[in-house]
Amino acid sequence: MVETTIKKHNFSAGPAILPQSVFEEAAQAVLDFNGSGLSILEISHRSKNFDAVAIEAEALVRKIGGFDDSYAVLFLSGGASSQFFMAPMNLLGENEKAAYLDTGSWSSKAIKEAKLYGNVDVIASSKADNYTHIPKKFQVPDDAVYLHLTSNNTIFGTQYHEFPETKVPIIADMSSDMFSRPFDANKFGLIYAGAQKNLGPAGVTLVIVKKDWLGRTGRKLPSMLDYRTHVDGGSMYNTPPVFPIYVLMLTLRWLKNLGGLTAIEKHNQAKAKILYDEIDSNPLFKGTVAKEDRSLMNVCFLPVNPDHEALFLDACKKAEISGVKGHRSVGGFRASIYNAMPQDSVQLLVDVMQDFAVKHG
């Protein structure tokens, strides 16, 4: 069971809520890591203590996600935004083509960066509709090196509930829904995810890449931007983000003990249903995206009466609910309900919505 937090009910899109038990264990490690007399913040990344952390973190990624030894698991810095250029830099030749799906702000930024390294074919986009749906009708060119997509769109509240069937490997930015549900690892040549949604604190980026896909372009790369450098160095070519990796390990340990991806998917589906049912039935609110593409991670909705926006945000504040103001691209409200979000917090938000309808309807 996902524990209820003792703090404010945090619906922030990120950095986001993490399990309370993870906060507590990490807080203790800041004072004294494993009885070493040293803080996790000051131990050497070459020490036996941290080596055990890195080994367990990688093992948990493989166990939970189903990644075999043909994949390298890397813990890098620079955020998912650095992967927008590192992926094509490492995997797309100058005269080669990659297919991209444009479903929001992050995918459009990935497209911009990829154009620096090869030919980019944007095979489908929902930009004309302000990204309120996931494009359904498209064909992936057989001569594309890969298909790139953003699995969940944090700003606009859409999500791929099924990944495309393709003849080419998929590169996926899973920053905001990584390990929130089961998926077939074999569909992907590369997955990257900023940690600060479901995996841990900001500061580490999880990268999972097919080893035999590396070095294919012949392009000369700076050492720090070459995936092979980090594979060979075990993610320790330079000093890695020690504390974020440790917290990521704790979070994955929590997820495994919870029952893994099947269990967390049921939890996430139940939370989302409670909130979307209220949006659809409450006369003062309305959803922003196509129902079949609604995200289980980021629930976006608007007030029917724009004058109610500030009033509702004030009602949330009084209820100790934080982080529900929508992104400026959409407006209204956004409730981010990542893995660690307890169902009780979602129910509280629904209660506030129902009370608001009574008072202002």
The residues assigned a catalytic role are: 106, 173, 197
- Computed on alpha carbons and rounded to an integer, the radius of gyration of the chain in Å comes to 21
The strand pairing partners of 208, in sequence order, are 73, 191
Quote the CA–CA distance of 321 and 140 in Å, as a whole number. 43
Q: Say what the alpha-carbon torsion angle 65, 66, 69, 75 is, to the nearest 10 degrees.
A: 0
Instruction: Indicate the SS3 state at residue 353.
Output: helix
Cα 34–chain centre separation? 29
Three-point CA angle 26, 32, 38, nearest 5°:
120
Residue type, position 37, single letter: G
Three-state DSSP class for residue 121: strand
- Strands 119-125 and 144-150, how do they pair? unpaired
Residue corresponding to tokens 């009910």: 9
For 158, the enclosing helix (H) or strand (E) is: strand 158-159
* Residue 77, CB-side half-sphere exposure with 13 Å CA sphere: 9
Listed in sequence order, the residues at least 6 apart from 179 whose beta carbon sits closer than 8 Å to its beta carbon are 64, 65, 198, 199, 252, 255, 261, 264, 339
Label residue 128 exposed, middle or buried (CB < 10 Å: 0-12, 13-18, 19+): exposed
Q: Which two tokens stand for residue 237?
A: 């070519």
The kind and range of the H/E element at 207 are: strand 205-210
Q: Give the Cβ contact number of residue 165 at 10 Å.
A: 8
Distance CA 301, CA 285 (A): 7
Tokens 């590396």 belong to 214
- Put the strands of the sheet holding 71-76 in their side by side order: 71-76, 205-210, 188-194, 170-173, 144-150, 97-102, 119-125
